[in-house]
Amino acid sequence: MHITITQTSLSDKWQTCIQSTRYRGLLERFYSASTGTRLVTKQAGLPGKRPPKGPRTKQPSRANQPPLEKTEDLMQCIAYATADQYHLATLCHDLVSSGFYEITDLPRDASNVLVVCTEMASKPNDHGIIFFFREGSVVFWNVEDKTTKHVMRILESHEIQPYEVALVHWENEEINYRVGEGNSKLCRGDILLNSELEPDQAVLEKFAFSNALSLSVKLAIWEVSLDNFVESIQSIPEMLKSGKRVKLSRAEVMQKIGELFALRHCINLSSDLLITPDFYWDRENLEQLYDKTCQFLSINRRVKVMFELARVLF
């Protein structure tokens, strides 16, 4: 069974949405062409290569950075968004059973994160530590590749609505860091951690940086989802303009409606990204680290672009 859509059967709002030149201008400026990846359940197998993407509102290019193996004091922090949410309690149990150590002396208001450390550090300059945020993102600090892959496999059993593997690995955030003298800060795209900090304070500063990185990768997943939806309806206005009929099956219509509702949910959630979490209200030094990292990753600008596109789309 097919549903025939003519120009007169579309709502005015929908026609305005898909034919809006303002929307198309924003799309061309801030978003790449769709690569066909959708926000769907993970598929088996290793992530494949994806075509190069157009400019987005993410951080500046870091292609000119020196390789980590040639810079002894530099270590790597890398973030992934892998699912809508995590079951932190069961994840903690499995990680501890696998030889990881939970850090339990976090402040009580840091309740939506699980922090574990590992002896399998990539470099001897710092401990290996991992932050798991309940909202579905994970951040690794100085963790060797083999251990990172092992953790990602454990994580699969504790994900709610996992994302496609290729999408997870493509939309990551990588940032180099080192431990040295002076106050912790983000400088020229690298993180400096104060070597004189007490261990518990060092964890909190890493938490602040990780918090911003986790938001960025989560936002990137939503951006791709929006890209894909727009690409999937791009041909409709041209066909209507030329007087052609657009034939969609009932299943296809229901799928597009479902995608619209899912996008609206994601964009509603993204509104929280513009609000500094309560955790930082009485921790000014951590708030500065969090805010500076958000600025570097263009979090506010990217969220506002999503709001503008959503306003036209919905």
Per-residue pLDDT tens over the stretch 302-312? 888 877 776 66
Whether residue 80 has pLDDT greater than 90: yes
DSSP state of 246: E
- The three-class DSSP label of residue 278 is helix
pLDDT number for residue 42? 47
Tokens 């593997």: give the residue: 165
pTM score, whole prediction: 0.74
CB 54 within 8 A of CB 33: yes
pLDDT number for residue 70? 53
- Give the mean pLDDT of 158-179: 93
pLDDT number for residue 68? 54
For residue 139, the cross-strand partners are 79, 131
CB 225 within 8 A of CB 231: no
Calculate the dihedral angle through the C-alpha atoms of 81, 162, 116, 113, rounding to the nearest 10 degrees.
70
Share of the chain above pLDDT 70, in %: 61
Output the six-digit token pair for 169: 């690995």
pLDDT number for residue 256? 66
Residues in the chain: 314
CB 104 within 8 A of CB 203: no
* 21-35, 240-254, 266-280, 297-311, range with greatest mean pLDDT: 297-311
